[in-house]
């Protein structure tokens, strides 16, 4: 969807009625504003460039994570201990239990998470 539409731009249309010399309608023509504006294409291209500059593993900017100075990395990183998502934990536990029943095509199952308290 174009960015300008997300921001509320309404697509406009102009309808022109063409008549012959006797006043009879011979053609009705409707011309719509373009769905994508040049600015929308520019935003989309910028977003794709931004995505391409991300590491596929950590999703940080490659320009930072690969920067070197005199043969050494410019930045250092630490990885804090992981946090546990209790919603995902409940889903994974339920999926493990369900897998023991050998369901048909388990990849097609849709799992929802409902908060109970």
The pLDDT assigned to 69 comes to: 96
- Under the banding of pLDDT at 50, 70 and 90, the label for residue 28 is very high
Residue 19 parent element (H or E): strand 13-19
Question: Alpha-carbon distance 43 to 34, whole Å?
Answer: 16
**DSSP helix/strand/coil, 32:** strand
pLDDT in tens, 7-25: 999 999 999 999 999 999 9
* C-alpha dihedral, 20 to 22 to 23 to 28, nearest 10°: -20
Among residues 1, 10, 56, 45, the alpha carbon closest in space to that of 66 is found at: 56
**Tokens 């409902």 map to which residue?**
114
Among residues 98, 101, 49, 102, the alpha carbon closest in space to that of 111 is found at: 98
pLDDT in tens, 52-81: 999 999 999 999 999 999 999 999 999 999
């Amino acid at each position: 969807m174009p960015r300008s539409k997300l921001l509320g731009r309404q697509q406009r249309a102009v309808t022109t009625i063409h008549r012959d010399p006797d006043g009879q309608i011979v053609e009705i023509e409707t011309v719509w504003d373009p769905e994508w504006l040049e600015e929308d294409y520019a935003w989309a291209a910028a977003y794709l460039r931004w995505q391409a500059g991300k590491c596929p593993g950590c999703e940080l900017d490659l320009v930072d994570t690969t920067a070197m100075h005199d043969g050494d990395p410019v930045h250092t990183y630490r990885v804090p201990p992981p946090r546990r998502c209790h919603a995902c934990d409940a889903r994974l536990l339920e999926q493990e239990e369900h897998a023991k029943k050998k369901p048909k095509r388990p990849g097609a199952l849709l799992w929802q998470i409902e908060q109970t308290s």
